Structures are given as structure tokens and as C-alpha cells.
Amino acid sequence: MSSTLNVVTSQEYKYGFVTDIEADSVAPGLNEDVIRFISAKKGEPDWLLEFRLKAYRHWLTMTEPDWAKVAYPKPDFQKIVYYSAPRPKKPQYASMDEVDPELRRTFEKLGVPIHEQEALAGVAVDVVFDSVSVTTTYREKLATVGIIFCSFSEAVKSHPDLVKQYLGSVVPSSDNFYAALNSAVFTDGSFVYIPKGVACPMDLSTYFRINNKESGQFERTLIVAEEGASVSYLEGCTAPQFDTNQLHAAVVELVALDRASIKYSTVQNWYAGDKDGVGGIFNFVTKRGLCKGKGSHISWTQVETGSAITWKYPSCVLLGDDSIGEFYSVALTNHKQQADTGTKMIHIGRNTKSTIISKGISAGDSSNSYRGLVKVQPKAEGARNFSQCDSMLIGQSCSASTFPYIEVQNRSARVEHEATTSKIGEEQLLYFQQRGIPAEEAISMIINGFCKDVFRELPMEFAVEATKLLSLKLEGSVG
């Protein structure tokens, strides 16, 4: 066994480099003045400053959650820099040519499809670099059908009523410790609005990247799909290598009105720390979708491969009758990574349906937990849920756990839960090797087979990327 499945991964983080850009930052630390500084810097209206301050005051009364199966040194919130932005040489960029060449090289190294070719391929990219959106492509084209796709700060200026109406309507600022922190200090993110009856003609895509050492990143994303509208949104990210842990606490809110559909896909590959667990991103994210309207549909698909610590539960609140929530997840952990991820499906409306497919893969010394809640409220007549949670172990020293919580308050509801744990054992590997397939390729094939039900939910090019990413992450997992 030990010779074939000796799990020592030596793969170094491919995207580990630092961009030198003059940052425009506040001193580390958090207090009301810092929040006022951020708000003033961004020229925000009073109601938004109030939103932030209220969140901050509430945050002060909260303590960091410790129920997740992750262990880490608690971040020192007074050491974090809450605002940093690449300083534009000019106030506006007419095209990519005007963007800081250093920054462009970074994007090229990352393979961010920001060039015209990629844009022509049908992907509009809203790039968040540190905290400020640098450029947005294809926005005009989208605007002709009434779609708004812009940075959050811009949306605050150009569509304040929409932002005011929906901000915090799915994830209240008091929701949890990290959501409260985000609500107080978020600097930027993305805003998407799809008007009534419009099917967004292309996948919308955002690449995130954490750059400034010791700058916490607090993204805020809000996606609203009006009656009968539909959109597919892609989020992907990579980060440079650091020795100090970086905190990332994003909030994503989705709102789907009558018969609207939102598909949100993530491929996450943040720096996970080195083999010994030094460095890496702390990823504490609150993602929630509200199926507000009748027959609305929200689908989360995630491929989580990075971060030292992942704490993330993309959820659906199924308020509208006949609404549908879906969660498809692959979470891969290796070395000393820890992931506690899953979903919450809250059935409130009648005949609401939810599907949960979770695939956890652990290698090295990592720990991988699925935590999911299916809650059927008293009025959710005819609610149905199907959950399938599979874990795969590679090697002897990793662990996988499943924590399903089921609360059913309506007798007509049907809730099904299936769970399996398997090992890429020597028998399976030998079978592939006996047919001439080297162990690494065998593992990659077995893993992709294991994840198939999730990958097929991803947009085509994302699925290809995800497949490569998993193989890359497991390189060296067999000796």
C-alpha cells in the first residue's frame, strides 16, 4: 500500500507570485472611523454608511463561531487592512490597454480571459483586483437588453434604489459573525440585475484575486433576477502565495422572483498553504439565494479546491411555491487543508424541491466535512428533498465527516438522504495499472468519475478547468 498510495503531494502552488502595485490603504485595524473612511472614499450615500455602522455595532456583540470542524488561529481583526485599492493612473479605462501593465501581466499569468478573444468567446469578465473593479467588458452589449453587470460600487452610484432594495434582504447584516463583518467593511464586488423576461445571452464571469499582503478581502455580490429572467454566473479565483493567513469573508446574495432562474458556479483555487499548512487563505463565506417568487429556481455549483480553511454553505431559501433549490459541490482537500462546507435548504413554500449532491475528496492530512441542513417548515406542503453525500479518501491520514441535519415540520414532506464513503484503494488502482494506466492518471480518472454528477452541472469550459484543477491538486498524491 504505502508504495503506491503514499500520499506526499509536492505540487507547489502554480499561481504564487506578488504583484507590486502602489496600494492606497488605510492603516490596519477596525473602528467606526475606518468604516467612515471606506464609505467616504467610495462616495457612498448616507443609508449605506448607516448599513455599515449598524452591521459593525452588531458585529461587536458577536463572537466567532466555533461549531465548524476546523481548527485555526483566530484572525486578529485589528491587524487587517480594511481598504486597499490599486491606484489608477487615470480615473477611467477606456480599454484594457490603459490598465497598469503590471496588472495585465498578472492576469496573463493567471490566464484570466480578459482579452478580446475571450470576450468574443462569450464571457464578460468583471475583474476584482484587490478591492476595486478594474475593468468590465461587454457591459454595453448587455445593457442593450437591460442587463446591469457592474462593480458593486458602481451600482451604488448608478442604481442606488435597486441596491438599497435588495442589499441585506437575503443575508441580513446580523446574520452571522463574518456576514456582519463583511456588511461593515465590504469594499467592492459585483452587481447583476436581469430585468423581467430576459434570458442573459452569455455566462457572466468574475475572477477574484487577493493581492495585497495582509489585506482582508470582503467582497459583496448581489444578483437579482426579475420575473421570468435567467442568468448563469461564474466565479473563479486564484491568489498569490503568502506566509501570513489571509482572511476572506465574502457575502453573496441572490434573489430570484417569479419563475426566474439563477445558476451560480464557482471554481475556487485559492492558495491553500504549503505542505506543512503554513500560509493559505481563510475562506469564510456566506452565500445564500432567496427563491422569492413562485416557480423560481436557484442552483449553486461549486468546486472547492483551495484555501487553508473553508467555511462555506451556499444555501437556498425556498419561499415561493414550487420553487427549486439545488446544491452541487465538489470539495477537495489535501495536505493540511480543512474544509467544512455544505448547504442549507429551507423549504417555506408549498411543493418546493431541493437537491443536494456533495462530493468530498480528502487526501494528505486534510479534513473534509459536509454539513447540511434540510428544513421543512410547517406550511411547506408537499416539499421534497434528495441529498446524496459521498466522500472519497485517498491515503490513510485524511478524514471525512458528514453532518446532515434534517428538520421536518410538515408531514407531507419527503426527505431522502444517502451517504457513502469510499477509498481509492489499492484494488481499484491496481485494476487501472494492470491495464497499463499509470497511478496518477488512474486517480484522476477515478476522481473525475466520482465527481461526474457535479461536473455536468458546470458550464462546459468551467468543467474542463475543474477537471484539470483536481488532477493538478492531487499530483504527487500517489508515490
Partner 1 sequence: MLSIKNLTASINGTPVLKGIDLEIKAGEIHAIMGPNGSGKSTLGKVLVGHPAYEVTGGEVLYEGRNLFELAADERARAGIFMGFQHPIEVPGVSNAAFLRLAYNKKAEAEGRDELDPLEFDDFIHEKIKLVAMKEEFLDRSLNEGFSGGEKKRNEILQMAVLEPKLAILDELDSGLDIDALRVLGDAVNKLQRPDRALLIITHFPRILETIQPQFVHVLSGGRILKSAGKELATELEDRGYDWVLEEAAAGGAR
Applying CB under 8 A, the residues found at the interface with partner 1 are 1, 3-5, 426-428, 430-439, 441, 445-446, 448-453
**CA distance linking residue 299 with residue 359, whole number of Å:** 16
Smallest separation, CB 465 to partner 1 (Å): 19
Smallest separation, CB 319 to partner 1 (Å): 34
Between 6 and 412, CB nearer to partner 1:
6
Q: At what angle do helices 439-450 and 460-474 cross, to 10 degrees?
A: 140
Q: What is 146-212 written as a DSSP string? A: T-EEEEHHHHHHH-HHHHHHHTTSSS-TTSSHHHHHHHHH--EEEEEEE-TTPBPSS-EEEEEE--S
At 54, which helix (H) or strand (E)? Answer: helix 46-60
Smallest separation, CB 436 to partner 1 (Å): 4
Between 180 and 454, CB nearer to partner 1:
454
Between 3 and 61, CB nearer to partner 1:
3
**CA distance linking residue 261 with residue 172, whole number of Å:** 22
Smallest separation, CB 479 to partner 1 (Å): 10
* Cell numbers at 120, concatenated: 468574443
Smallest separation, CB 264 to partner 1 (Å): 24
Distance between terminal CA atoms of the chain? 10
Between 207 and 370, CB nearer to partner 1:
370
**CA distance linking residue 59 with residue 179, whole number of Å:** 9
Cell 432594495, residue located:
165
Between 61 and 434, CB nearer to partner 1:
434
Whether the CA torsion 185, 188, 189, 194 is positive or negative: it is positive
b/e code 455-469 from CB counts within 10 Å (16+ = b)? bebbbebbbebbbeb
Between 90 and 435, CB nearer to partner 1:
435
Contact 127, 151 (CB under 8 A): no
Smallest separation, CB 394 to partner 1 (Å): 14
Between 3 and 92, CB nearer to partner 1:
3
b/e code 353-379 from CB counts within 10 Å (16+ = b)? bbbbbbbbbbbbbbbbbbbbbbbbbee
Smallest separation, CB 304 to partner 1 (Å): 19
At 338, which helix (H) or strand (E)? Answer: strand 338-347
List 385's β-bridge partners, or say none. 354, 415
Smallest separation, CB 391 to partner 1 (Å): 13
Between 66 and 427, CB nearer to partner 1:
427
β-pairing verdict for 297-304 and 324-333? parallel
* Cell numbers at 105, concatenated: 501581466
List Cβ neighbours of 178 (8 Å cut-off, separation of 6 or more).
249, 284, 285, 286, 311
At 434, which helix (H) or strand (E)? Answer: helix 426-434
Between 40 and 445, CB nearer to partner 1:
445
Smallest separation, CB 397 to partner 1 (Å): 18
* Cell numbers at 473, concatenated: 491538486
Smallest separation, CB 478 to partner 1 (Å): 11
| Cα–Cα nearest to 314, from 221, 398, 245 | 221
| Cα–Cα nearest to 391, from 354, 366, 427, 415 | 366
**CA distance linking residue 59 with residue 465, whole number of Å:** 38
Smallest separation, CB 430 to partner 1 (Å): 5
Smallest separation, CB 441 to partner 1 (Å): 7
Between 286 and 362, CB nearer to partner 1:
362
Other beta carbons within 10 angstroms of residue 388's beta carbon come to 15
